[in-house]
Each structure stands twice: as C-alpha cells, then as structure tokens.
Structure 1
C-alpha cells in the first residue's frame, strides 16, 4: 500500500480553493499573493494524494483562520478525510497521518512530529519556516535531518524545496518500513526545471529540482 497520485482529485481540490479564496480571503499577518499561491498548492497536493488525515502543526499565536487552513479544510471535504489542527501546549496523539503542514515557528514541532503515527501509505510533509529550527531547506543534508526528526521506522523517499509563499517551503515524501530512501547525494542526480505560475500575481517561478 502506498500513496498514489490522482490528477483529477488534485484539480478538483485546487479549483475548490480558488473559488473559496476569490470570494473570501482570510485576514492573516504577512498574507498576500505568495501565501494564496501556497494555499492553492497545498489543496492540490492534499487532494491529489487523496489524503485521509490532514494535519496542521501550528504555533499557538497563529491566526484562527488562514489561507492554508481554508485550503486544507477544502481538500479534506473533497477527499472525505479529516483535517486536524494542533497548537503549542496541546498533548495530542494522531494516528494515520498522510499529509501534514508543519510550521517550525512552533517550538515543539519536532517533538510533535516524533509522536505522530504515519499511515501505512506513507505521507507527504510540507515544512514552513524551517530555518527557524536551524535547518537549511536547500541543503543536501535535508534528507538526513528529516530522518533524525521522524519516528523510528519512517524513511525519507524524496525531498524538494519550492520558492513559494513567504520564505519558501520544503516538501518531503516519507515511506513506512523497509525500502529505498534518498539517493546518495555524492552520486550525480539528473535535475529538471519546474515552472510554477502564481495565479494571483501572475509571477512565474522557475527553479531546478
């Protein structure tokens, strides 16, 4: 059993959020076209992976509603899954997580991640504000760092940095049990160019993976 990408579900979740945000964009500090573009991306990813347990790991001082929250809630409705938000000082045990957005402005984000039980299909993790915890999202050691953060038995399959939103995000695909992990960074890895167009500002981002 593994995560399987569904383009049709991704498109539906994406357009659900585009419609929601076109009529009612939540107020949040530092929001703007970049954060709206990130919200659309999150919805498409959560929907495309048919996520059944979507988790937001947030600091206590975050706004009650944000574009990311709207996006993830809409994706959960589309997939028929759950959308769970956890805040600092909460003691929560989460079972079967298969999609998560982690804000590392939360002081105990690493501790929470180690307690979360990833579902049998594996999971996709999206990291925001990763540099706050001393990590460098663009470094070759990102896979090793995540491997030390996640609970035992979880392996990092691949990792990518995207310059989207305020400060960019890292997207990590993790698997459960034995299997291939990230390739040896010393070996030559074929790269490719990826293009993302922000639907709000019209700005085109081109980056190499």
Structure 2
C-alpha cells in the first residue's frame, strides 16, 4: 500500500512546503502566492481517495500535516522585521485548519463516491476549502481569540476597511479570508480537469 501512495505523499509534502514559502510573497492587495498552490492539496487528497480509497487518502493527509508542523517549527525560528515568520497562533490555525478540512474532504468524498465522477471531488473540495479558510483566518487573526497568544499583536488584521476595497466595513482579515476563499472555489472547479486525467492514468496502472 505504501509504495502506491508514496507519490501522493510526496506531492502533498511538496505543496505544503511550497505554500509555506510562497505565503510570504504578496499577490496584489488581498492575496499571497501561496493562495494559488495550497488548494492543490485537495486535488491530491481527492485523487488518492478515488484511486486507493479513504484509508490511503488519510495517510497522505497525515503526512502533509506532519510536514506542515515541521514548516511551522522552522518558521518560528526565523525572525523577520516584525518578529518570527510564524507565530504560535498562525501555527495553531494552520495545523488545525489543514487537518480538519482535509479529513472532512476525505469523508465527504467517500460518501459521494458512487455518484457522477465530478460530484465527489467538487463537493468535498468546496466544503473542505470553505472550512479551511474559515478556521485558519478566524483562529489566526480574530480579535476575539487574542487569548490564544496574548503577546501577539493582531491589531493590524482587525483594522476596519471596506470589504475587498469596495464593500461594507469589516476587519482586514475578513477581506483576506474572502479573497482566499474565492481563489479556492475557482481552483476547485479548475482542478476537475487534472483530477479526471490523473485518476484515469493511475487507475490504468497495474496494481
């Protein structure tokens, strides 16, 4: 079983590492480059789930979680202009969001696997991505959860600004979350193309 899912584990690890690096670089006003690589984790999970089942898919998710923890630990030791690159809140938010959302993705996909080919990956990715965004940004930046790390100043993320620069007044982190969520939804749709191609290729390989 392990040799078959090893490519999935390697792909997941690469996505997690790349996303942790690219999240440091801005793309426009509301996003980072990591927003475009991280959603690919759901593609990897769904392909593994379709081809090998929920058990191996969960192993891939757990491998990604471990790699994410390692990245967070490294980030806490690297100090930038405003302190460590990864704070305790961000590490907690990242790990919680990843593991919870990915396991939800696996469960939903498995429940819907008997329907049309696109139904399971689309529904699981959409719901998993939505939960991921909600958990991460709330845990990492909400002023109501400042007790998670009292020494971490998140006042910058709670500055009231128009939603995405044009909507009602909301904390900055809400605009960041909405922009991130919109990218995840778009990529969930686009990922159906490589999903079908990868599933066909892996399913054709000898067991």
TM-score, length basis structure 1: 0.30
Larger radius of gyration: 2
Task: Give the number of the structure whose residues are more often helix, by fraction.
Answer: 2
Larger RCO (CA under 8 A, 6+ residues apart): 2
TM-score, length basis structure 2: 0.30
